[in-house]
Amino acid sequence: MLRRRIYNPLTELLAAALLVVLVLVVNRWEFSFAVLVLVVLPAVLLSGRIRQISLAILLVAGPLLLSSLLLHGLFYPEGRVILLDFGVARVTQEGLSFAAVMGLRMGVFTGVLLTVAMTLDIPDLLATMTHRRWNRKLVFILGSAVGILPHVALRARQITRAQQARGLVVGRGPISRFRALLTVTTPLVIGLLVDASERNHMLQARGFSSSVPRTSYLPDTDTPRQRWARRGMAVAVGAFSLLWLGAGVLP
């Protein structure tokens, strides 16, 4: 069951972006950990899509965490406390600490952005931006970027079920799993490219490039209070970032 919507999608998207900016500016593991525990975890639990979002975070953040561990854990030039020495590579305490901090930040980034992207009401978001008279190309790009993950996940499930109906059997071995992955990935990528081409022709046929103001058939769910709140959040985060960086409060 999806969560009950309280805020406009534009407000949620801006809040997620500003939270990422704060994590980058503060650059302390304590703050990143607090955001992960107090913001990301409750957002995932209340999203109504715990399994889908958790799997997406694992698939995106997992390779990033592994690469950070291998890169900084084995090849950290500033490392002094050597835990293991492999000749060419050295496992140092400083390298592992840096890799852990970077992994925590990447986990926060992926958790915040994927949770918002996979729970946003895309039609409501596009309608809000249309009512605000945003540039139509920018609206289309943002809507496509935010909505690509649910679309890809749905298409992948459909292709997997179709392949299983044709006799696809996934074994336990790595070769069998890789072969099954190819049978799903190949039509998925081709289908996405075909959809993009067809969508381009449809948009051009419907006068997407014209300069006439667009009309949205969905009501505007945005409110003046939320618009002022967005401006206030942006100003507050900008002022805090300038004061934090200007004061030299850096680790």
- Cα 144–149–154 angle (5° rounding)? 110
The pLDDT of residue 79 is 66
Rounded to an integer, the average pLDDT of 209-225 is 71
The pLDDT of residue 233 is 93
Residue 43 pLDDT more than 80? yes
> Which distant-in-sequence residues (6+ apart) come within 8 Å of 67 by Cβ?
none
**Secondary structure of residue 90 in the 3-state scheme:** strand
Residue-wise pLDDT tens digits, 94-125: 778 888 888 888 888 888 988 888 887 777 77
The pLDDT of residue 19 is 92
Residue-wise pLDDT tens digits, 138-166: 677 766 666 676 677 777 778 777 777 77
Residue 193 pLDDT more than 70? yes
Q: Is the dihedral of CA 12, 8, 126, 134 positive or negative?
A: negative
Residue-wise pLDDT tens digits, 48-87: 788 878 877 887 787 778 877 777 777 767 766 777 766 6
Residue 25 pLDDT more than 80? yes
The percentage of residues in the chain with a pLDDT greater than 90, rounded to a whole number, is 8
Residue bearing the bigger pLDDT, 157 or 42: 42
The pLDDT of residue 1 is 46
Q: What are phi and psi of 236, to 5 degrees?
A: -65, -45
In angstroms, the CA 45 to CA 88 distance is 44
In angstroms, the CA 75 to CA 88 distance is 9
Residue 29 pLDDT more than 80? yes
> How many Cα atoms within 13 Å fall on the side-chain side of residue 53?
24
Residue-wise pLDDT tens digits, 224-246: 898 899 999 999 999 998 888 87
In angstroms, the CA 104 to CA 90 distance is 22
